[in-house]
A and B are shown apart, each in its own frame.
Chain A
Amino acid sequence: MAVKTETTPWTKPAGKPIAGKAVPRPARSAQVQAYLPELMKGLGLTMRHFFRNTKQMVLGQKPDPVLESLSEGITTIMYPEERRPYPARFRGLHRLTLRDDGSPRCVACLCCSTACPAQCISIEPAEYPEGDARRGYERYPGTFVIDELRCVFCGFCVEACPCDAIRMDTGNHPVPYDSRDQFIYRKDLLMSFASRDGQQLTENPRHEPGDATHPGITREQAGH
């Protein structure tokens, strides 16, 4: 809608109709024109903020920036000392879960490295030594390497894992390092991590060969 405006120094081009919606100019009342009353109001507002925030800092009453993110006040998190609690399903750095005897639950099936869209997982499977109850039934990861710099933290490896052997519940976000080598996490390091509540095991039971609950099937029975 074109609106015909009268010619004033503030409308350009003078006298030409303005295309589009006309925005009414604010009233230029004496109070606004005098500027000082409005300035004092503004000073009062800034001072109110200043005194409230300063008082909170002095008295140590800074509101919790996460809990009260929508309320007024300082919402800065002083990061290295103060941490924002991550949600329960936050995908942090990986860890390898352990069995009761401290060995990795991983059976080196390569599901995770197959599922990984970033191809950042590398596993070399190894056989248990002769005489071990698990030999012939399952293998273990000789090397287990994750390049955390390549990782996109999608969580597909966790979903793909049939043994609940890899998890991303450490609650640690990726850490900055000086060199690329330091982002290569190996088996020992991954096994040393714990979940956010300090667990290195998982709640899911594992039926070891020799247990009463184990069906007793081995690789030797594959050839019939």
Chain B
Amino acid sequence: MSGVLIVLALIKILIMVGFLLNMAAIATWADRRQGAMVQDRVGPNRAVVFLPSIVVQLLFVLPPALFATLAGFTAYRGVRGPGAAEAALMGAELAIFVGWFSLLVLCFVVRRKGAANALDEMVGGWAPRSILVTGLALHVAAFVALSMVPAGSWGVAARGMNGLLALVFAAVGIYSASKVPEGKVGIRLAGTLHAIADTMKMIWKEDFIPPRGDRLLHSLAPILAVFPVLVTCAVIPFGRTLCFRDANGNGFDFADLKTVAPAMTSAFQCPRGTAVPLQIADLNVGILYIFAMAGTGVIGAAIAGWASDNKWSLLGGLRAASQMVSYEVAMGISLISLLLIYGTIRLGPMVEWQSTHTWGIFVQPFAFILFLVALLAETKRVPFDQPEGESEIVAGYFVEYSGMKWGMFMTGEYVEVITSSVLLTVLFFGGYALPFLQNDGVRVAFGDTVLFTYKMNHVAVVVISMLTFFTKVIFVAWMQIFIRWTVPRFRYDQLMKLGWTRLLPLALANMLVTAIVVLAVDGHSDIEGALSFAADVTQALLAIGMVAAVLAFFFGLVEPVKRQKILLSTAQKFAAAAGGVRMRPRQA
């Protein structure tokens, strides 16, 4: 293994571990905040840092200034070669997006806090919906206009559009900084500071070990609970394979990092040169490694329950052990049907199969449900959180833990949420695959009829695939947290019954049926052709659904909530006369 590969592997590990830990910290906040929003409460958003206004202004100016500098540098240097068209398009679309989004934010801010100048008044007077529609229209117009630019003028267009982007970024940064009030400004970041405050609290808290507990095992258990969920992600492919060319002919070294293969075919293999898969370790046991590592997660909970010298924690540890062992069986067998179709247990080829055919959830919807249920039980989250059922056994296996050891169990739980979302994404939601996005650009095709093609730069495709993967993971984690706030906890006998008498037989039946169907279809080219056409149709439906979801999100957001005002009690009438709840400056 050469030095450059080691450096690249370290970078990949950093990306994955950084993503997991950061998302876990954010998930602790998101879980509480989401539950609060479901239950009509505000939730954690009181953690605050007071900064002088100049610092806040810098915070507002610096990120846009950084992007503006990047765009300005691109415009100054110019882009040559095939990348110029994309640079122009990206610059234009980004400038339009930043423009309409900032105007929308400004419009809402003005409507909430009042206008400070003529520009504010004008923007506040616009209808939010019309800002959004105009922005979308501009997006399409820019795409059409730039695709009509002749190949000779791509460089000029790239310069112009990136210059425009730099101007937009600079304007947004400076104008938003000018809106920062004088004096001390409280920064809340929607409550995400709570995660930091909680961590600081947990680090300084007393680390209590029960006097008759096992000191060694008590300290070992949190490590054993966190470690397996972190290493699970070692085999997850989080982006398309990066292809490098060997420019100087002495093998792959640091100098070759600059020569990313520019032109790609739609196939997954690199044409020539070195392929760097965006996957920390490409093990040939693939999914088995994940099961092996996830299986050791039970040891942490069981040891914690045993070492605490507490009947409740012992009960919790026992429950955790039996639950996780039970559901591991159903989880593994429910996936076999999927593996029969993918024809591999390595995760990279699985995602490639889903990218060229269709997402796993369409070929095995039943296996998806079984796997999702088993996975929820495996992560010990609601509705399967009997190991830590507060109403019965206080906090289950970590009842005797405090401080950062408890925090490690909590981190482990939330990393597990992210890890399980990663697994669901890779197995059922196509991993990094986007509908119709091939290795060389967008290609909309049904069977052999090609409707639309758009060539793209290799780096752009890889970056988009990475962003796709992480976005999907965040979305799936969000959905998982919703299940927590919707479903009440099962009873323990119901849990065991569900695992052994429902999930396991259903998974076995699904496996048998799938095996028979796969054998029956194998070799019949007409059925396979029809199936691959159906796969393309599902891709089209997915693409339409995604675009519709994003549009619905933005259109739903700009429409104000309508509510009836009912004044019932005399207290309310008095409060209405007094102006309702009033904002006042903080007292000491």
Contact = CB atoms under 8 A, between A and B. Distances in A.
Contacts of B578: 85
A209 to B, nearest CB: 40
Contacts of A71: 563-566
A52 B562 CA distance: 10
Interface residues of B, number: 42
B581 A68 contact: no
Given A67-B572, A67-B575, A73 B580 contact: no
A80 B46 CA distance: 10
A46 B485 contact: yes
Contact of A72 (B40, B42, B557): B40
B561 A56 contact: yes
B557 A58 contact: yes
Contact of B42 (A42, A55, A70, A78): A78
Contacts of A85: 574-575, 578-582
B112 interface: yes
Interface string A60-74: 110111111111111
B41 A42 contact: no
A77 interface: yes
A80 B362 CA distance: 52
Contacts of A68: 563, 565-566
A94 to B, nearest CB: 19
Contacts of A80: 584, 586-587
Nearest to B485: A46
Contacts of A76: 41-42
B140 interface: no
B581 A55 contact: no
Contacts of A65: 581
A67 B573 CA distance: 8
- The dominant DSSP class at the A interface is loop
Contacts of B111: 60
A43 interface: yes
A59 to B, nearest CB: 6
Contact of B583 (A43, A72, A82): A82
Contacts of B520: none
Interface stretch (B31-39, B295-303, B306-314, B539-547): B31-39
Contacts of A39: 483, 486-487
Interface residues of A, number: 44
A61 B559 CA distance: 11
A75 interface: yes
Contact of A70 (B369, B487, B560, B568): B568
Interface centre among B39, B565, B566, B581 (most CB of A within 10 A): B581
Interface string A36-50: 100100110111011
Contact of A46 (B38, B582, B586): B38
Interface in B26-52: 34, 37-42, 46
Contacts of A36: 369
Nearest to A43: B486
Contact of A67 (B40, B580, B583): B580
B10 interface: no
Given A46-B38, A74-B42, A80-B586, A67 B486 contact: no
B37 A49 contact: yes
Contact of A51 (B108, B556, B572, B579): B556
Interface in B249-276: none
Contacts of A114: none
Contact of B581 (A58, A64, A72, A73): A64
A11 interface: no
A55 B486 contact: no
A59 B580 contact: no
B451 interface: no
Closest A-B pairs by Cβ, 9 of them: A85-B578, A64-B580, A76-B42, A60-B112, A53-B37, A66-B575, A42-B486, A46-B38, A82-B581
Interface of B: 34, 37-42, 46, 108, 111-112, 369, 482-483, 485-487, 556-557, 560-561, 563-568, 571-572, 574-576, 578-587
Given A53-B40, A69-B572, 4 more contacts: A49-B40, A81-B583, A85-B582, A87-B574
